[in-house]
Structure 1
Amino acid sequence: MSTLQKTVTQKNLTPRQVVAELNKYIVGQDEAKRSVAIALRNRWRRMNADKEIRDEILPNNILLIGPTGVGKTEIARRLAKLADAPFIKVEASKFTEVGYVGRDVESMIRDLTDIAINMVKTEMQERVEEEAKKIVEDRILDILIPPVKKGEDNATGFHSDDDSFSPDNASDQELNERTREKFREKLQNGELDDREIEVEVQKSSKSPMMQVFGPQGGMEEMGINLQDMLGQMGGKQKTKRKVTIEEARELLLEEESEKLIDHESAVQEAMERVQKQGIVFIDEIDKVAESSGDGNKGGGGPDVSRQGVQRDMLPIVEGSNISTKHGMVKTDHILFIGSGAFHVSKPSDLIPELQGRFPIRVELNSLTEEDFFDILTQPKNALTKQYQAMLKSENVDVEFTEGALKEVAAIAAQVNERVENIGARRLHTILSSLLDELLFAIPDDISSGDITIDKEYVNKQLDDLVKDKDLSHYIL
């Protein structure tokens, strides 16, 4: 069984289990969670299907439709973590049609491949970490207590190629070994962490001066390869740095771990993982659709460029071979998740061929006041829990009463309705304004203790902002 298959087997969550995991971080949007859970399980099903038909089973790409801040990106990001899969989020509006200055759509696959390679290398480095730590320990010891080699001059200046003829040299070696072992013990106990030493580390061969960019995929790829070639020509240059032993450990551990891993195997595994597990989240896909009410439809103007981006995107989503600096990547089994608010345009305004490549469409609901309260209390990474954790580091315990959180939820719903609906992102701005005074006062005025945020405190801090429409426009 390949490493990739082992990874997939370990992550064989059922759709119900996937939804349960997503529920820990995302409130509501049950239909969207259900769709992505099925899509994730289908990957495992494909990997375990008969070999004859495995390659014929294509992923059902998903189009998430809904206003900003309702959880579209978070669903995709959490899905990728659950699958332990290479994941990239791109914005469709940032791409330009091939032939124009800017990034072409193929770059998202090249970037996804780089992400996968870094992911696999990190995993490999973790596997060799213990071995690398021992090598680093020896390197640091060699700096502190250089070893005495056989046949070298001893303390008396005597030298001989014959060990048996150099008893003094042997005693020097024994003494050296004993000293090294004492220092090894001190190193392992962290007693020497603050001591400064001079270490020789590899210098980065890539310089910003060498970066080459081009408007088209081929040119961009050529630029990357030229940069690599120029870097390799310089060889593995080294530089000396004076650092503490604690810092030296980190620098050398990274260097030694890098030496121990098989880079070729890492690239091969990453390429396989991209092709079979990769997830591409294309945000703002509605921005490259023709506007329904645009008089330019079918004519010139910006819609021509938008259509060009869609047509460039089509073969990638359909399944094609994309050239990267590591080799060709087949996109047939990469899962694509499109996302957009579709306020101005509709999904049907995308070119028909691209529409057909996103067969599963899920409409996400706008968030209600009750949803905001749940978002503040239920998720493992709720904003309130984040602020509590930050202030706990200052020895201050903050508690939010239920009344306070209900008031914050009500204000978020009210401001979204009056100003602009940005979904759950509104909670970030409201909580930031609510706790501004407190965050500034700690630790100068408040060094420790318990603080309770109640409804009265919320009204006191936010009442004027909510009432003043102009202020709420800019602050909340």
Structure 2
Amino acid sequence: MSEDKDKINLPADEDPKAEETDSDHKKDDEYEEVCFMCRRPESKAGKMFELPGNIHICSDCMQKSFDTMNNGNMNYSDLLSQLPPNVSMIDLSSIQKQVPPRQRPKKKSQDKTKETKKQFSMENIPAPHRLKEMLDDYVIGQEYAKKVMSVAVYNHYKRVFSSREDGVEIEKSNMLMIGPTGSGKTYLVQTLAKLLDVPLALTDATSLTEAGYIGDDIESVVSKLLAAADNDVERAEHGIIFIDEIDKIAKKKNTNQRDVSGEAVQQGMLKLLEGSDVEVPVGANSKNAMVPLETVNTRNILFICGGAFPDLTDIIKERLTKTSSVGFQADLKDKYDDEPNLVSKVTTDDLRNYGMIPEFIGRLPIIFTLDALSEDMMVEILHEPKNAILKQYKKLLSMDEVKLTFSEDALHAIAKKAMERHTGARALRSIIEDFMLDIMYEIPKDDSIGEVVITKEYIERTGGPRIVLRGQEVPKIGMQ
């Protein structure tokens, strides 16, 4: 009985259940209420009617419900009286609670002090030279690409925050990146978004189809950006969307069927790239009756498209040799076969011949290429960037109080193996994971090991790593 009294007299600030309900209530206050019937948030539908069971209905749906009841012939009192025994009405509150927070838009902050702290402005954008210096810490090589991106991003946000009172409207700086697989297209965009602290949505053009067909809707890319911005529309409208494998939506040649994943997708993306109001589902990739919708304006969203364009070099070769293919001054057919970065000579005509429609190319005014990685660049990628993969493994082994070092010959052996795979920098990770497996497995067994030196022989499977014990050295002992 005394325990019951203690529970009854427990102050609200000390009651753990009360604290839980308070915290849940605060979390709910961060998100907009969603109409139980039409699933529109209160920013769209207006003030909500709150019914028992935490059910919210907008004025439009409430009016429609009254009209249906008044104009209908059903006697609701007779319906309730004829219910069988032990049958109760449906608990609608349990259905209302099925809308998770990730599918509810966040309320816009009313606190002006908080709003000024979080406000995104031109002051948050570094100058082009400073932005390139920041990219240099993470991305090896690709000097031209980093320079172009730094200037384009800086101009894009100047356009976003510029006034249009003088009648001069700056066009969008959407970009098209062309480079071989593994050259760092996605990594460059990810690093850029992280440095700018803006939301980023990554998507693959291969999954996009025309509306009404199986696959991801074109507008789903904006829905991903809204999710990355934690359903904050204002923040999402200052974000970046990166569409990879853009070459896969090139116009199909010699086909009589409807091109739902090629030219139709390019046509559907035109308004998106230029800037339009898009209704996207909150917390889902497809629209349905159970998901609230939010309107996002894409005018200030920076679109970056990337692709390998594997057969583009053949089109460029054909154009370059076509101009002077007759007479003593003619170029040889194989003149450009050994050109390492032939794709850097690309023009908009080459892209049109590849299958990209002129309207789509016109909405990506900044076109630049990335160089194929050389062996020396691979070696630099291994150990120079701030978050280089070798630095990550060194940190892992340092937690076991073991020093990890790589000989210069070993680094070149790793890079050489990666070059043979023709997948760019992606190959480095899989190669290192392969030969580090045994080391990571054996090290925790023996506390006497103080240092592991990775040698060229170990990479080439002709020997083992050099193990340095604490206080003494044992040369080239292979780990079994």
TM over 0.5: yes
What's the counterpart of residue 362 of structure 1?
368
TM-score (norm 1): 0.59
Give 1:288's aligned amino acid. Answer: I
Note the C-alpha offset of 1:319.
1.2
Number of residues of Structure 1 aligned to a counterpart in Structure 2: 301
What's the counterpart of residue 321 of structure 2?
none
What's the counterpart of residue 36 of structure 1?
149
Note the C-alpha offset of 1:67.
1.0
Over 3 Å counting, the alpha-carbon distance change for 1:30 and 1:285 in structure 2 is same
Is 2:419 the partner of 1:395? no
Quick check: 1:87–1:112 contact (8 Å CA) kept in 2? yes
Inter-partner Cα distance in structure 2 for 1:75 and 1:462: 37
Note the C-alpha offset of 1:273.
2.3
With 50-59 and 399-408 compared, the bigger mean Cα shift is at 50-59
Over 3 Å counting, the alpha-carbon distance change for 1:4 and 1:280 in structure 2 is farther
Inter-partner Cα distance in structure 1 for 2:199 and 2:117: 12
What's the counterpart of residue 443 of structure 1?
444
Note the C-alpha offset of 1:455.
2.3
What's the counterpart of residue 78 of structure 1?
191
Identical aligned pairs, as a percentage? 38
Over 3 Å counting, the alpha-carbon distance change for 1:450 and 1:62 in structure 2 is same
Over 3 Å counting, the alpha-carbon distance change for 1:394 and 1:53 in structure 2 is farther
Note the C-alpha offset of 1:393.
1.9
Quick check: 1:39–1:59 contact (8 Å CA) kept in 2? no
Note the C-alpha offset of 1:63.
0.4
Quick check: 1:92–1:283 contact (8 Å CA) kept in 2? yes
Quick check: 2:156–2:173 contact (8 Å CA) kept in 1? no
What's the counterpart of residue 347 of structure 1?
351
Deviation readout 1:383-433 (Å, 9 max, x if unpaired):
1111111122222211112222122222322x13xxxx1101111121122
Deviation readout 1:70-99 (Å, 9 max, x if unpaired):
010011111111211111000011112111
What's the counterpart of residue 323 of structure 1?
279
Match of 1:310 among 256, 266, 269: 266
Over 3 Å counting, the alpha-carbon distance change for 1:375 and 1:53 in structure 2 is farther
Give 1:347's aligned amino acid. Answer: L
Note the C-alpha offset of 1:352.
1.4
Inter-partner Cα distance in structure 2 for 1:102 and 1:383: 35
Quick check: 1:4–1:272 contact (8 Å CA) kept in 2? no
Is 2:407 the partner of 1:426? no
With 350-359 and 430-439 compared, the bigger mean Cα shift is at 430-439
Give 1:11's aligned amino acid. Answer: N
Matches within 5 A, 1:136-215: none
Is 2:238 the partner of 1:282? no
Matches within 5 A, 1:61-100: 61-100=174-213
Inter-partner Cα distance in structure 1 for 2:362 and 2:161: 26
Match of 1:56 among 158, 169, 177: 169
Inter-partner Cα distance in structure 1 for 2:463 and 2:166: 60
Inter-partner Cα distance in structure 1 for 2:179 and 2:221: 23
Inter-partner Cα distance in structure 2 for 1:109 and 1:29: 29
Over 3 Å counting, the alpha-carbon distance change for 1:21 and 1:54 in structure 2 is farther
Inter-partner Cα distance in structure 1 for 2:299 and 2:190: 21
Corresponding residue SS for 2:216: coil
Inter-partner Cα distance in structure 1 for 2:152 and 2:358: 22
What's the counterpart of residue 337 of structure 1?
304
Over 3 Å counting, the alpha-carbon distance change for 1:4 and 1:285 in structure 2 is farther
Inter-partner Cα distance in structure 1 for 2:448 and 2:247: 49
Matches within 5 A, 1:235-274: 270-274=232-236
Give 1:434's aligned amino acid. Answer: F
Note the C-alpha offset of 1:457.
2.7
Give 1:295's aligned amino acid. Answer: N
Is 2:387 the partner of 1:381? yes
Inter-partner Cα distance in structure 2 for 1:7 and 1:54: 24
Note the C-alpha offset of 1:459.
2.8
Higher helix share: 1
Give 2:400's aligned amino acid. Answer: E
Note the C-alpha offset of 1:347.
2.8
Note the C-alpha offset of 1:372.
0.5
Quick check: 2:122–2:161 contact (8 Å CA) kept in 1? no
Gaps of 5+ in 1: 119-266, 464-476
Quick check: 1:63–1:361 contact (8 Å CA) kept in 2? yes
What's the counterpart of residue 295 of structure 1?
254
Over 3 Å counting, the alpha-carbon distance change for 1:4 and 1:357 in structure 2 is farther
Inter-partner Cα distance in structure 2 for 1:372 and 1:408: 9
Deviation readout 1:159-191 (Å, 9 max, x if unpaired):
xxxxxxxxxxxxxxxxxxxxxxxxxxxxxxxxx
With 357-366 and 37-46 compared, the bigger mean Cα shift is at 37-46
Give 2:427's aligned amino acid. Answer: R
Deviation readout 1:111-154 (Å, 9 max, x if unpaired):
211221x2xxxxxxxxxxxxxxxxxxxxxxxxxxxxxxxxxxxx
Give 2:305's aligned amino acid. Answer: G
Over 3 Å counting, the alpha-carbon distance change for 1:452 and 1:96 in structure 2 is same
Note the C-alpha offset of 1:6.
4.1
Note the C-alpha offset of 1:327.
3.0
Corresponding residue SS for 2:121: helix
Is 2:125 the partner of 1:12? yes
Inter-partner Cα distance in structure 2 for 1:351 and 1:386: 44
Inter-partner Cα distance in structure 1 for 2:155 and 2:409: 43
Corresponding residue SS for 1:317: helix
Quick check: 2:204–2:244 contact (8 Å CA) kept in 1? yes
With 307-316 and 362-371 compared, the bigger mean Cα shift is at 307-316
Higher relative contact order (CA 8 A, sep 6+): 1
TM-score (norm 2): 0.58
Inter-partner Cα distance in structure 2 for 1:286 and 1:58: 24
Inter-partner Cα distance in structure 1 for 2:436 and 2:293: 49
Quick check: 1:271–1:329 contact (8 Å CA) kept in 2? yes
Quick check: 1:60–1:360 contact (8 Å CA) kept in 2? yes
Note the C-alpha offset of 1:279.
0.5
Deviation readout 1:327-359 (Å, 9 max, x if unpaired):
321111211000000114663211211111111
Corresponding residue SS for 1:18: helix
Quick check: 1:88–1:108 contact (8 Å CA) kept in 2? yes
Quick check: 1:46–1:54 contact (8 Å CA) kept in 2? no
